[in-house]
Amino acid sequence: MRLFHCGQCGSLVFFESVQCVHCGCTLAFSPEDMAMLALAPADDGDHALSRTWQRVPTRGSDGAAPPAHYQLCTNRTTYGACTFALPAADAQAHGGLCAACRRTRVLPDLSLPDNLRRWSQIESAKRHLFYTLARLGLLSTQQPGPVYEFLADVAGAPPVMTGHAQGVVTLNVAEADDDERARRRQAMHEPYRTLLGHLRHESGHYYWEELVLRAGHVETFRALFGDERRDYAQALQAHYQRAPLPAAQWQPQHVSAYAAAHPWEDWAETWAHYLHLVDLLETAASFQTHMAIPGTTPDHAQHYAMPDPFAQPAPGFDAMVSAWMPLTLLLNSLNRSMGQRDAYPFALSTGALRKLRFVHDTVARR
C-alpha cells in the first residue's frame, strides 16, 4: 500500500484515513481516481449534514479546474463501515454504494452488534484487496472481479464455510474474531490466518478461471501445478484427515502445506503470496526503504533498495524477489522484537518461486 497525503495541507495520511489529523479536512479514497480525496461540502452546508462533496484543489495547484463532486459511500454515512467515495453522478444508480461495497451482495444480520463489527472489519480487508487488484489492472467495468457473501452461522443450520464458487467468495464473519481465527489456525495446523489472507486466497480461485482457464494457459499451468482435474472434494478430504505433512514433503514445490492438497489450492495459495509480495514491496518502496544485511565485515554488507512493483518501467520478477527475501527477514525480526509471531512465517523454495513467477507472468500478460 502506498502512502497518501492530504490534498488540503499536504500532511501524511493513510488508506483508511477519514479525516486529516493535522487540518481536520474530510478524507475519502476514490477508487475511480485511485486517489485520496480531500473533500469539502459542495453546498457550503454543515459537514455532518452534507450529502454532496467537492474535491479540495490539490495543494500548490492554481485551482482553475472545476472541482469534481462526490458522495461518501452509504456504508460510511450509515454504519461508519467504509472509507470510499463515489462520483455523485453515479450515486443514485448504485444505491449510494462505492465500487467496493456494491460487490458485497449478502450481509449478516447487522442488527446484532457483533455482526456489525465483524462485517466492518471484513470490508476493511476487502477494500485493501480491491486496491491491490485495481493497481494490478485486474478490475475494470467489463471485469469487476468477484462478488462477496459475508455470512454468520445460524443455530440448526450447517456452518458457513469460507470458499469460492462460480465467482462468489463466501466468508464466515466469525473469522473477524481474533480468538476464533486463532482457534481455527491451530486446529488446521496453519502458520498464518488473517482476513486479508483469506480474501487474497479466495480471489485466486476466481482469477484462475479468468487468467488461466479462459486465457488458454491450462497446459502450462498443469506442467507446474499438476492436473486440476483430480477429484477436488476427495483431495481436500484427504488433506484434512491425514496428519500434517512434514515440511520436507511439501516445501520443495509449494508455498504452504495446504498448497499440496490440490493444484487449485496450490494456485490460490501462490496467488495470495504474490499479492503479499506486491503489497509489502509497495509499502516498503513508499517509505523509501533501503536495507543493508551486515556481513562479517562492513565491506561484505549486502545492500537493497525496495523496488516499487508499480513503477514505470516495472521491476522484473527477479528484482522483486531479491528484495522480498531481506524485507521479510526484517519484518519478522521486528515482530519478534515486539514479542509477536512472524508476520511472514514462510520460506520460498526454488519450486515455489517457479510457480510464483508463473503468477507474475500471468498478471503481466493481462
Angle, helices 195-208/113-135, rounded to nearest 10 degrees: 50
- Report the C-alpha gap between 327 and 306 in whole angstroms: 8
pLDDT at 49: 52
Number of H helices, E strands in the chain: 11, 13
Helix/strand/coil (H/E/C) assignment for every residue in 195-231: HHHHHHHHHHHHHHHHHHHCCCCHHHHHHHHCCCCCC
pLDDT at 229: 96
pLDDT at 346: 93
Is residue 175 helix, strand or coil?
Answer: helix
Long-range (24+ apart) CB contacts under 8 A made by 17-26 are 17/83, 18/76, 18/83, 25/56, 26/53
pLDDT at 142: 77
Q: Where are the alpha helices (DSSP H) in the chain?
A: 74-79, 88-91, 113-135, 178-187, 195-208, 218-225, 232-241, 247-250, 263-286, 317-337, 350-365
Is residue 358 helix, strand or coil?
Answer: helix
pLDDT at 177: 94
One-letter amino acid identity for 75?
N
Provide the residue-wise pLDDT of the chain in tens; the chain has 366 residues: 999 999 999 999 999 999 999 999 999 999 999 999 999 998 765 555 568 999 987 766 555 556 689 999 999 999 999 999 999 999 999 999 999 999 999 999 999 989 999 999 999 999 999 999 999 999 987 788 899 999 999 889 999 999 999 999 999 999 999 999 999 998 888 889 999 999 999 999 999 999 999 999 999 999 999 999 999 999 999 999 988 889 999 999 999 999 999 999 999 999 999 999 999 999 999 999 999 888 766 677 888 999 999 999 999 999 999 999 999 999 999 999 999 999 999 999 999 999 999 999 999 988
**164 pairs with which residues across the strands?**
169
- Cα 227–Cα 252–Cα 217 angle in degrees, nearest 5: 30
Whole-angstrom CA distances from 349 to 165, 270, 313 are 30, 12, 27
DSSP string, 229-287: TS-HHHHHHHHHHSPPPPHHHHTTT-SSTGGGG-HHHHHHHHHHHHHHHHHHHHHHHHT
pLDDT at 300: 79
What does the buried/exposed string (b/e) look like for 312-323 if buried means 16 or more CB atoms within 10 Å of the residue's CB? Answer: eeebebeebbeb
Copy the grid coordinates of residue 94: 448504485
Cis, bond preceding 294 (omega within 30 deg of 0)? no
pLDDT at 144: 84
pLDDT at 42: 86
pLDDT at 263: 97
Copy the grid coordinates of residue 357: 513467477
pLDDT at 327: 96
Cα diameter, the chain: 67
Q: What are phi and psi of 124, to 5 degrees?
A: -60, -45
One-letter amino acid identity for 14?
F
- Report the C-alpha gap between 113 and 152 in whole angstroms: 13
pLDDT at 296: 66
Are the C-beta atoms of 153 and 159 separated by less than 8 Å? yes
Choose among 288, 254, 151, 267: nearest CA to 207: 267
Long-range (24+ apart) CB contacts under 8 A made by 241-246 are 244/189
Copy the grid coordinates of residue 299: 565491506
Q: Where are the domains of the chain?
A: 4-97, 100-195, 217-366
pLDDT at 48: 53
pLDDT at 62: 56
